[in-house]
Amino acid sequence: MQALTNRAKAVDRRPMTLAEKMYIPAIAKGMGITFKHLFQKKATVSFPEKKRDFSPVFRGLHVLNRDEEGRERCTACGLCAVACPAEAITMEAAERKEGEEHLYREEKYAAKYEINMLRCIFCGFCEEACPKDAVYMSETFAPANYQRKGFIYGKDDLLIPHPKEGK
Amino acid sequence: MTLLSIDWFFVIEKVLLISGVLVLSLVVAMYSTWGERKVAAWIQDRLGPNRAGFMGLLQPLADGGKLFFKEEIIPANSNRFLFVLGPSIAMLVACMTSAVIPWGDSLVIAGRTVSLQIADVNIGILFIFGVVSMGVYGIMIGGWASNNKYSLLASVRAASQIISYELPMGLALIALLMLTGSLSLKDIVEQQRHGLWNVVYQPLGFFIFLVCAFAECNRAPFDLPEAENELNGGYHLEYSSMKLGFFLFAEYINMFISSALISTMYFGGYAFPYMDKLGLDPNVVTILGFLALFVKTLLFIFFFMWVRWTVPRFRYDQLMRLGWKIMIPLALVNMLITGALVLARQH
């Protein structure tokens, strides 16, 4: 049979020599290897003290973005919810009232915006679908929680802080 | 001080010595668990326990505490008395062997010569063999009393394994005894103090003894009675809480004692090179000698761990083949050669 790669090695089926049958040289060799490993660099990351950096394309928890003046960008168009394969996103739209122009960028906004982090598969389709650059995925992941309802993130969990007021 | 025709100093001295050796073996066993985890971790490029205290040094205390607080389960269909007896025997036997090991030469305290050996019996090695072979009863009774197939299988394995490896161990020792001409461990050490270490004369005997010691201690690669991944823990499958702890602990004490024994019989015990030429106070030399023995013992304990994390477990038929078809003939040949050489030297 033709080998698929040039890395294939034929199995050595010759009968073992006396030295091989004694196993002692092989064991000594193995012990040498393990002894070398005693002093090698450890792979462990001491987690709470030291955190491993995420990859640049890591998709973590979502954030709802604001524009430069601190207005919410989301217009509750629902494209993210449609794009979501896990159906983790629900939202309720509302109309912007007179005098709320400093809060919402467009005439329509999301009164309620919830992502169920237990359903979410962090595929990033919502991020791609958003026409207003409102949904982004950050570099954090959902912390543990005692209850399922703790994993349903509302607007107050998702919105990034206001650039000026800090809230 | 002699009262009621009993030398009370002698009694006090022995009681202190016994408690000292007992505490020493318990502490060493305790920290062997820590050491084992550390060595395992380092060999596998990990860090090992490092949360409880500096370098994880409080880890054994935490483990022990945990075992004490665990629920004690005695299976409904087990024999209650034997179920408790099993770990007790294992622990008792493990602690008994240290009595005849000379932990050092003698100290001179206020004109009294205090030997650092609890009992210098002239059949020291025989005593150790007798006691060690009782250790298998702990495993056997424990496994049987659990009323569990896995436990029973494992304890049967343990019994046959220990019997199979006691034979070559004994044969290897006979060769050593031909050289030393004494069964007293103290004599054996004193001979090595003034001559070369026995390992020089008995390299093959030492090797056989070492391999058999691994088997006797149920250590990898001979840990078939426990075989975590085949027999769900083997003979201590049904044990929980401190009874399990006793079994595990006994294994570590056995490891410590075997290491001490190997050092004593083949590596000079408390003797170290130039010990009589340093010109130091005899008491200082004795303490240094104890430290030398301790270091040798620790090195052997490390060796035990090192092997455990290198060599995979034997299959059962391989174990038996090695024991009966390789170890025993090798030991016999070793005995024959030693006998011939001893005879040749006498003439």
pLDDT for A93: 92
Q: What secondary structure does DSSP assign to A50-78, as a single string?
A: S-PPPPTT---SEEE-B-TTS-B------
pLDDT digits (tens), chain A, 167 positions: 677 888 888 888 888 888 778 788 888 999 999 999 988 888 888 888 888 888 888 898 999 998 888 889 999 999 999 999 999 999 999 999 888 888 898 899 999 999 999 999 999 999 999 998 899 998 888 788 899 988 999 998 888 887 777 65
Contacts of A24 (CB under 8 A, 6+ apart): none
Distance (Å, rounded) from C-alpha B257 to C-alpha B219? 13
pLDDT on residue A121 = 92
Does A131 map to a domain? yes
**Which residues have a Cβ under 8 Å from the Cβ of A94 and sit 6 or more positions away?**
A76, A108, A109, A110, A111
A and B: number of Cβ contacts within 8 A: 34
Q: Tell me the C-alpha distance between A22 and B204, whole Å.
A: 14
| Confidence at residue A152, expressed as pLDDT on a 0 to 100 scale | 92
Of B39, B46, B310, the CB nearest to A30: B310
The Cα–Cα gap between B347 and B342 comes to 9
How much is the average pLDDT of B119-144? 84
Residues of A in Cβ contact (< 8 Å) with B309? 34
Asked if residue A130 belongs to a domain, the reply is yes
Give the model's confidence band at B186: pLDDT under 50 very low, under 70 low, under 90 confident, else very high: confident
Give the helix/strand (H/E) hosting B161: helix B149-180
**Dist. CA A149–CA A140, nearest whole Å:** 19
Please indicate, yes or no, if residue A134 is contained in any of the structural domains.
yes
Which residue is associated with the tokens 């090798």? B330
Whether B2 has a pLDDT exceeding 70, the answer reads: no
Q: Give the closest-approach CA distance of B29 to chain A in angstroms.
A: 22
List, for residues B56-76, the tens digit of each pLDDT value.
Answer: 888 888 888 888 888 888 888
Q: Is B211 on the interface with A (CB under 8 A)?
A: no
Residues of B in contact with A46 (CB under 8 A): 47, 50
Q: Could you read off the pLDDT of B234-290 as tens digits, one per residue? A: 788 888 888 888 888 888 888 898 898 899 888 888 888 777 777 778 788 888 888
Write out the two tokens for B17: 């010595």
d(CA A39, CA B97): 35
Bigger pLDDT: B175 or B230? B175
Indicate which CATH number applies to the domain containing A129: 3.30.70.3270
Residue A82: per-residue pLDDT: 94
Q: Tell me which residue in B47, B50, B310 faces A34 most closely, judged by beta carbons.
A: B310
User: Chain A closest CA to B43's CA: distance in Å?
Assistant: 5
Of B24, B73, B38, B45, nearest to B244 by C-alpha is B73
Contacts with A39 from chain B: Cβ below 8 Å: 42
Chain B residue numbers with beta carbons less than 8 Å from the beta carbon of A34 are 43, 306, 309-310
Residue A106 is assigned to a structural domain of this protein: yes
Residue that the structure tokens 């604001």 belong to: A66
In a domain, A163, yes or no: no
Which residues, 6 or more positions from B42, have their beta carbon under 8 angstroms from its beta carbon? A37, A38, A39, A42, B48
Q: Which residue of A has its CA nearest to B41?
A: A38
Q: Which ipTM did the prediction report?
A: 0.77
Query: Is residue B334 within 8 Å of B175, Cβ to Cβ?
Result: yes
Residue A154 lies in a domain: yes
Count Cβ atoms below 10 Å from residue A85 Cβ, excluding itself: 11
CB B253 within 8 Å of CB B95:
yes
Residue in A31, A43, A46 nearest the CB of B310: A31
Q: What is the pLDDT of residue B331?
A: 92
Task: Give the mean model confidence (pLDDT) for residues B111-127.
Answer: 80
Report the pLDDT value the prediction gives residue A112, as an integer from 0 to 100: 92
β-partners of residue A90 are A114
Determine the residue type at A46: S
Q: Which pLDDT score is estimated for B225?
A: 74
For residues B137-150, give the mean pLDDT: 85
What pLDDT shows up at residue A163? 75
Measure Cα distances from A133 to A74, A140, A149, B262, B345 in Å.
Answer: 8, 19, 27, 73, 95
- What does each C-alpha distance from A55 to A22, A46, A52, A59, A139 come to in angstroms? 49, 18, 9, 9, 9
- B71: which DSSP letter? P
Torsion of Cα atoms, B51 then B254 then B266 then B131, to 10°:
170
Alpha carbon A84 to chain centroid, angstroms: 15
Residues facing A66 on adjacent strands: A72
Q: How much is the pLDDT for A166?
A: 62
Assign B3 a pLDDT band (cuts: 50, 70, 90).
low
**Contacts with B69 (C-beta within 8 Å, 6 or more apart), sequence order:** none
Locate B94 and state its tokens. Answer: 């493990």
Task: Give the mean model confidence (pLDDT) for residues B212-218.
Answer: 86
Residue A50 located in a structural domain: no
The answer to whether B84 and B243 are in contact (CB under 8 A) is yes
Q: Which whole number is the average pLDDT over B311-323?
A: 87
Q: Is A74 a domain residue?
A: yes
Minimal C-alpha gap between A139 and chain B (Å): 27
Q: Measured between alpha carbons, how far is A73 from A152 in angstroms, rounded to an integer? A: 21
Instruction: Identify the pLDDT of residue B248.
Output: 85
Q: What is the DSSP code string of A2-20?
A: --SSTT------SPPPHHH
Contacts of A38 in chain B (CB under 8 A): 39, 42-43
Question: What pLDDT is stored for residue A64 in this prediction?
Answer: 92
Count: domains in chain A: 1
CA–CA distance, B19 with B118 (Å, rounded to integer): 10
The residues near A145 (Cβ < 8 Å, ≥ 6 apart) are A151
A128, with CB counted inside 10 A (0-12, 13-18, 19+), is: exposed
Residue A142 is part of which domain span? 62-158
